[in-house]
A and B are shown apart, each in its own frame.
Chain A
Amino acid sequence: MTPLLPPGLVWLASFPKSGNTWMRILLANLVDDNGQAQNINALAIRNGIANSRALFDFHTLLDSSLLRPHEIDLLRPTVHDLVAEQPIANHVVKCHDCWRELDDGRPVLGYGARAAIYVVRDPRDVAVSLAHHMGGTPDDAIAVMSGADDPVQADRQLPYRQGSWSRHVTSWLDQTRVPLLCLRYEDLLHDTVGCLVRTLHFLGAPCPPERIERAVHHASFAELRRQEEAQGFRERRPGQPFFFRRGQAGDWRTSLSPEQVRAIETAHGATMRRLGYPLSTEPLAHRSPA
C-alpha cells in the first residue's frame, strides 16, 4: 500500500493536553483507511515520541538512564537526524518538547524533520485537562504551565524541556528551521474536516473528501470513549478514570475560579491574543471569535 504521506519525518508537537493524541488518531485513521476505526492501542501511526528512551538508546548504544540531562541534550540532535533518515512510512512523531537550540546552535530536535504540525489549545482548558490528567488541582496545573525551563522527567522516557505554556507555543511559532502548520484545538473541534484538509495540503498529501470524512467519523470522541471503556487506553495514567474525558472547548468557564483564570491570563495573555483567544477581561464587543 502506498503511504498517504510523502516520505520524511513530521513532528506532531504540542504542549501536553492540547489535542496531540486526538490529532494522531485522526491521522492514523487517515493513513490506514481500511473501513474500520483504528484501535486506539495499536494505531497505524506508532512512531513513539521525540523523547523516546528506546530510540535514543538504540542509536547511541548507551544506557540513557545513566546520562545526565545535558548529556542527553548533546546527543539528541544526532539521534533525531538518524531517525529522520529511516525510511518509515507516514513518519509522524509526537513531540512535547519546546523548540530549543543548544549552545552550539544545533536544534535539540536535529535538522532532519521536513515539517511540523503544532496543535495549540486555550491554556485555560489545558489547565483543566492537565489537572485531571495529573490527578491534581487546577492550581497545580497552572503552576506546571508557568513552569521554568528545568528538565521534565517524563514517565520512563528521556527528560525533556517543556518550559511554560507561552514559551512552548512561541518557541515553535517563532522557529524558522522547520515549516510549521499551527492548528487550534478549538478549530479542530469545530471543523475537523476543514482542519484535516489544511493539514494534508500542508503535508503534500491530497486525499479524497470521503476518506477524510471516514477518518473523522472513526476518530470521533464517542468512538474513542467507547474503545477506552471497552479495552482501556495505554496512555491513561493509573488512577485516572478516563483519558478521553470530555473532548470539549470552554470547559474552563465552569471548572476554573476567577482567580485561576486571572492567573493564567496574566501569565499567558500576550500569547493568547496572538493565537486569537479572547481574554475574559476584554469587553465582549472587542472579542473576536475563538
Chain B
Amino acid sequence: MTLLYRIAGLLVQSSVPLPGVAAVASSAQPPDAVIECAPVPSGLADPTHRTAAWDIGPQQFLLRLPDGSRLQASNGCRLLIQPVADEQLADILPFVLGTGIAALLYQRGVVVLHASSVVAHGKAWLFCGHSGIGKSTLAAALCRAGHAFGGDDIAAIRLDAQGVPCMASDGRQLKLLDNSIDTLDMGDLRRQEVRAGCGKHYVEPPTESSAEPLPLGAIYFLEDGLPGAPLQLTPLGLIDAAQSLLNDSYRPRMALLMTGGAERMALTTAILRHVPAFALSRPRDLQRLDATVGALQQHWLELDR
C-alpha cells in the first residue's frame, strides 16, 4: 500500500493510512518524505543529545514512546515507525504526525511554529501559544465565520524566492475537545478520536484549506486575560516577538537542538522583517469566542489598509 498526503508543505508517501489527513489522489512529483514501518534501533549510535525519551544527532531524531514503540526521522526525508506490536500502530500515529513530522521539518531547515492558522485577504494569520490556550478552537471559530482553514497544531514557515515568509499548505484536520466541538456546533464534522481516551477528535474543517503557500499576515501570541479583563491586542517589539517565536516553536527544545543559533536568528529576523507580531490577551471563555473573532476580523481590515 502506498498513499500520498500533503502535510506542512511536504508531499509525504506513506505505507500506512494516516488519520486526520486527506490523501492526495496522485502526483507527478516525487515524494519529499516517506513514512514506513521498519525496525528502529533503541537509540542513535552517536547522539549529540540524549534523554530517557529521545535522542538527537546530526540529521537524526529518535523517539522512544512510553509503550516501547519507537520512531526515527532521518535527513528530513525518512520517517520509520516501529510499534511495540502491530496492533499498536494506530495508537502511535498521532505522535508520528506531530513530533515525527516536526523532526523532518527541522531537519529540512523549516521554521516550525506551534500554531493554528486561517486564511483571509489572501494571507495566513497564525495563532501561537502553549497547549490548551485555545489555538485550535479559535481557528475553528474563524472557519465557522467563513474564513478558509490554514492549519492546526503545526505551521511550517519557509521563505519564498523573494525572501518573503510563507506558510505551507497542510492537509491535516483540526483536533478539538468535545466541549469546543459542541460550543461551535460542529458535531456533524466530528470524526474519529485522535487517540483512544484522549478526549480529542479530528474535525473536518468547515472550509477548505489553501493548496498553495501563502504569505503571512500577522502572528498572534495568545495569552489568557485576567478574569473580567477586556480583549487586548498589543503590538510586540522585535525582541519580544523574537523571544515569543522561539518560545512558541513546535517543541521548542527540538528547535533549539536541531537548528543552529545563527540559522534560527536569520530566519526569525526574516520573518519579523515582513510580518507584524501581536500579543492577543482574551478571556478564557468559550461563550466569548465571537467577540474575539470580530476583533480579529477588524484588525485584519486595519492591517490590510
- Same complex: yes
CA distance A69 to B285 in the complex (A): 26
Question: In the complex, what residues of A have CB within 8 A of residue B251's CB?
Answer: 57-58, 61
CA distance A54 to B132 in the complex (A): 9
CA distance A65 to B228 in the complex (A): 27
CA distance A59 to B252 in the complex (A): 9
Q: Are A238 and B253 also in contact (CB < 8 A) when A61-B99, A232-B226 are? A: no
Whether A41 pairs with B253 at a CB distance below 8 angstroms is no
- Give the residue of A41, A54, A67, A232 whose beta carbon is less than 8 angstroms from that of B228: A232
Answer whether residue A259 sits at the interface, using C-beta atoms and an 8 A cutoff: no
Q: What does the 1/0 interface line of A131-168 toward B look like (CB < 8 Å)?
A: 00000000000000000000000001000000000000
Q: Are A57 and B131 also in contact (CB < 8 A) when A63-B98, A234-B226 are? A: yes
Answer whether residue B197 sits at the interface, using C-beta atoms and an 8 A cutoff: yes
Whether B253 pairs with A61 at a CB distance below 8 angstroms is yes
Question: In the complex, what residues of B have CB within 8 A of residue A78's CB?
Answer: 51-53
- Give the residue of A54, A68, A238 whose beta carbon is less than 8 angstroms from that of B131: A54
Whether B94 pairs with A156 at a CB distance below 8 angstroms is no
Whether A59 pairs with B253 at a CB distance below 8 angstroms is yes
Q: What does the 1/0 interface line of B256-271 toward A look like (CB < 8 Å)?
A: 0000000000000000
CA distance A78 to B64 in the complex (A): 13
* Chain A residues within 8 Å of chain B by Cβ, number: 27
CA distance A78 to B52 in the complex (A): 7
Answer whether residue A60 sits at the interface, using C-beta atoms and an 8 A cutoff: yes
Question: In the complex, what residues of B have CB within 8 A of residue A236's CB?
Answer: 227
Within the complex, the shortest CB–CB distance from A233 to chain B, in Å, comes to 7
Question: In the complex, what residues of B have CB within 8 A of residue A66's CB?
Answer: 94-95, 98, 194-195, 198, 200
Within the complex, the shortest CB–CB distance from A31 to chain B, in Å, comes to 23
Question: In the complex, what residues of B have CB within 8 A of residue A217's CB?
Answer: none
Enumerate B93-146 residues with CB–CB distance to A below 8 Å: 94-95, 98-99, 130-133
Q: Are A234 and B228 also in contact (CB < 8 A) when A61-B254, A62-B95, A65-B132 are? A: no
Question: In the complex, what residues of B have CB within 8 A of residue A41's CB?
Answer: 226
Answer whether residue A82 sits at the interface, using C-beta atoms and an 8 A cutoff: yes
- With both beta carbons as reference points, the residue of chain B lying nearest to A63 in the complex is identified as B98
Question: In the complex, what residues of A have CB within 8 A of residue B131's CB?
Answer: 53-54, 57, 63-65, 156
Answer whether residue B63 sits at the interface, using C-beta atoms and an 8 A cutoff: yes
Answer whether residue A34 sits at the interface, using C-beta atoms and an 8 A cutoff: no
- Give the residue of A58, A62, A65, A74 whose beta carbon is less than 8 angstroms from that of B99: A62
Q: What does the 1/0 interface line of B19-52 toward A look like (CB < 8 Å)?
A: 0000000000000000000000000000000011
Answer whether residue B290 sits at the interface, using C-beta atoms and an 8 A cutoff: no
Within the complex, the shortest CB–CB distance from A204 to chain B, in Å, comes to 29
- Give the residue of B63, B67, B130, B153 whose beta carbon is less than 8 angstroms from that of A54: B130
Whether A233 pairs with B98 at a CB distance below 8 angstroms is no
Within the complex, the shortest CB–CB distance from B66 to chain A, in Å, comes to 4
Answer whether residue B229 sits at the interface, using C-beta atoms and an 8 A cutoff: yes
Whether A74 pairs with B94 at a CB distance below 8 angstroms is no
Answer whether residue B240 sits at the interface, using C-beta atoms and an 8 A cutoff: no
Q: What does the 1/0 interface line of A192-227 toward B look like (CB < 8 Å)?
A: 000000000000000000000000000000000000
Answer whether residue B284 sits at the interface, using C-beta atoms and an 8 A cutoff: yes
Within the complex, the shortest CB–CB distance from B164 to chain A, in Å, comes to 30
Closest 10 CB pairs of A and B: A232-B226, A156-B132, A71-B66, A78-B52, A74-B66, A66-B195, A54-B130, A61-B251, A66-B198, A60-B53
Of the A-B pairs whose beta carbons lie under 8 Å apart in the complex, a sample of 26, sorted by A's number, is A41-B226, A53-B132, A58-B252, A58-B253, A59-B51, A61-B53, A61-B54, A62-B95, A63-B98, A63-B131, A65-B131, A66-B94, A66-B98, A66-B194, A66-B195, A68-B197, A71-B66, A75-B53, A78-B53, A82-B51, A156-B132, A156-B133, A232-B227, A232-B229, A233-B227, A238-B227
Q: Name A's B-contacting residues (CB within 8 A).
A: 41, 53-54, 57-68, 71, 74-75, 78, 82, 156, 231-234, 236, 238
